[in-house]
Amino acid sequence: MQEEKTIKAKSDPDVNSVFGYGFADVIGQYDWDETLRLVAGATDDDVRRVLAVARRNTRRLTPEEFAVLISEAADPYLEEMAQLAHHFTQEKFGNTISMYIPMYVGNACTNKCVYCGFNHDNPFERTVLTPEQVEEECKAIRKLAPFENLLIVSGEYPSLCGVEYLEKVLRIARPYFHNLTIEVQPMRSSSYARLVKSGLDGVVCFQETYHKEAYKKYHPRGMKSHYDWRLNGFDRMGDARVHKIGMGVLLGLEDWRADIVMLARHLRYLQKKYWRSRFSVNFPRMRPSESGFQPVSIISDRQLARLTAAFRIFDHEADISFSTREAPEYRRHIMPLGVTSMSAGSRTEPGGYAVYRDKALEQFEVSDGREPADVARQIREAGFEPVWKDWDKIFD
Ligand code: SF4
């Protein structure tokens, strides 16, 4: 009987990724406090040594070397880091910023994330767009700007926004957009594979925080309360050969330094194991005003700039994405530090582009509410070329 279970676990990717073969089993070797000490204890000599390795560019930096570059000891080297980050970005991505736009299709959610407006306990009328409404939204987005890169977002409510529903949405959206990515509840590997067959290009999922105890506190109910299930979701995406896997943490839920180093370790693990996939990273800052939530640690503008440059120096391939959560001026300044992807014109409520304009509740307040054309103009003025689609798969 025991043997049967072992054989099943080795042959079924769904089972593998839930019980014992995903990053949830690896992360235990990294201690949170030790990681914080690594950052806090970095010295000027450490920074010089890591930057010398980065400049030689004969191997990739380790996550522990990345930890040195996000430390306060690296602050005097910000200008040099910015130049290196820009150089590595240009080598891989040229002068382009890939534009995308989110389309929220539902705000029903079974989870109770304490920092989110779609929280299950928040009393408001929930909406899930009908196929006709999805099409209306697609048309309205295409009228806004020539976006080819669509991020389909919903709350986590599998019985309303499950695989069947998402398959329909993908089919409706496909004629309007070149790249289709989803940001919904984590799924089984077989469900991801099914959606890939229906035209899915990418999946974005935020681990939110890698601190296991804090994670439980912030996500007390619903499937999202299962830390390991969410963490191993990225393995399930890789198993299903999802072309592009998007990862993210919310900076400020716990100490941002440890969270971002854990994200770097997770990225390296996934890159080795799922080398066919491309990766993107997002690290938005939590704001004190969101849903009355107070972040545990605040990351300053300068620290975020340092972190962005450090991430690009650490990894030359991953997309670094900045959404409309950041204000226009800051997005302008952060652009040359390694950013390769930006959203514009975002509405964060279902039907926000056409069906329910000004009616439903936003998931979060956007800080950059400009029209896509204005964002594109700013990008050009900064010396970059806005492209309205993601890189074609053929270039990978
Ligand atoms: S963050 Fe996502 S999963 Fe959590 S309550 Fe909001 S919509 Fe639901």
Atom of ligand 1 nearest to the CA of 110: 8
Q: How far is the CA of 77 from the centre of ligand 1 (A)?
A: 38
The pLDDT, as a whole number, for residue 362 is 65
Q: For atom 4 of ligand 1, which residue has the closest CA? A: 113
What are the structure tokens assigned to 111, written together? Answer: 């989870």
Q: How far is the CA of 45 from the centre of ligand 1 (A)?
A: 43
Query: With bands split at pLDDT 50, 70 and 90, how would you rate the model's confidence at 119?
Result: confident
Q: How far is the CA of 119 from the centre of ligand 1 (A)?
A: 6
Q: Residue 10: is its pLDDT beyond 50?
A: no
The pLDDT, as a whole number, for residue 287 is 75
The pLDDT, as a whole number, for residue 20 is 46
Distance, CA of 314 to CA of 69 (rounded, Å): 9
Q: Residue 79: is its pLDDT beyond 90?
A: yes
Average pLDDT over residues 101-121: 92
Query: With bands split at pLDDT 50, 70 and 90, how would you rate the model's confidence at 273?
Result: very high
Where does ligand 1 bind, in terms of residues with CB under 6 Å? 109, 111, 113, 116, 118-119, 155-156, 224
The pLDDT, as a whole number, for residue 396 is 52
Atom of ligand 1 nearest to the CA of 116: 6
> What is the number of other CB atoms lying within 10 angstroms of the CB of residue 1?
5
Average pLDDT over residues 272-294: 85
Q: How far is the CA of 313 from the centre of ligand 1 (A)?
A: 32
Query: With bands split at pLDDT 50, 70 and 90, how would you rate the model's confidence at 359?
Result: low
Q: Ligand 1: which of 110, 112, 116 to mutate, most ligand atoms within 8 Å of CB?
A: 116
Q: What is the pLDDT of residues 167-179, one digit of tens each?
A: 999 999 999 999 9
Q: What is the pLDDT of residues 46-66, one digit of tens each?
A: 999 999 999 999 999 999 999
Average pLDDT over residues 10-25: 61
The pLDDT, as a whole number, for residue 6 is 39
The pLDDT, as a whole number, for residue 301 is 96
Return the domain boundaries, the chain: 12-395
Q: How far is the CA of 280 from the centre of ligand 1 (A)?
A: 20
Q: How far is the CA of 187 from the centre of ligand 1 (A)?
A: 15
Percent pLDDT > 70 in the chain is: 90
Q: Residue 9: is its pLDDT beyond 70?
A: no
> What is the number of other CB atoms lying within 10 angstroms of the CB of residue 240?
25
Q: Residue 5: is its pLDDT beyond 70?
A: no
The pLDDT, as a whole number, for residue 297 is 87
Q: Residue 290: is its pLDDT beyond 60?
A: no
Q: How far is the CA of 107 from the centre of ligand 1 (A)?
A: 9
CATH of region 12-395: 3.20.20.70
The pLDDT, as a whole number, for residue 284 is 95
Average pLDDT over residues 81-92: 97
Q: How far is the CA of 324 from the centre of ligand 1 (A)?
A: 18
Atom of ligand 1 nearest to the CA of 185: 3
Atom of ligand 1 nearest to the CA of 120: 5
Q: For atom 7 of ligand 1, which residue has the closest CA? A: 155
SS (H, E, C) the chain: CHHHHHHHHHHCHHHHHHCCCCHHHCHHHCCHHHHHHHHHCCCHHHHHHHHHHHHHCCCCCCHHHHHHHCCHHHHHHHHHHHHHHHHHHHHHHCCEEEEEEEEEEECCCCCCCCCCCCCCCCCCCCCECCHHHHHHHHHHHHHHCCCCEEEEEECCCCCCCCHHHHHHHHHHHCCCCCEEEEECCCCCHHHHHHHHHCCCCEEEEEEECCCHHHHHHHCCCCHHHCHHHHHCHHHHHHHCCCCEEEEEECECCCCHHHHHHHHHHHHHHHHHHCCCCEEEEECCECCCCHHHCCCCCCCCHHHHHHHHHHHHHHCCCCEEEECCCCCHHHHHHHHHHCCCEEECCCCCCCCCCCCCCCCCCCCCCCCCCCCHHHHHHHHHHCCCEEECCCCCHHHC
Query: With bands split at pLDDT 50, 70 and 90, how would you rate the model's confidence at 21?
Result: confident
Q: For atom 2 of ligand 1, which residue has the closest CA? A: 155
Q: What is the pLDDT of residues 204-240, one digit of tens each?
A: 999 999 999 999 999 999 999 999 999 999 999 999 9
The pLDDT, as a whole number, for residue 122 is 86
* More confidently predicted of 16 and 280: 280
The pLDDT, as a whole number, for residue 361 is 61
- Weakest-pLDDT range from 254-268, 322-336, 350-364: 350-364
* β-pairing verdict for 244-249 and 278-282: parallel
Average pLDDT, the chain: 91
The pLDDT, as a whole number, for residue 254 is 96
Query: With bands split at pLDDT 50, 70 and 90, how would you rate the model's confidence at 1?
Result: very low
Q: Ligand 1: which of 113, 120, 291, 348 to mutate, most ligand atoms within 8 Å of CB?
A: 113
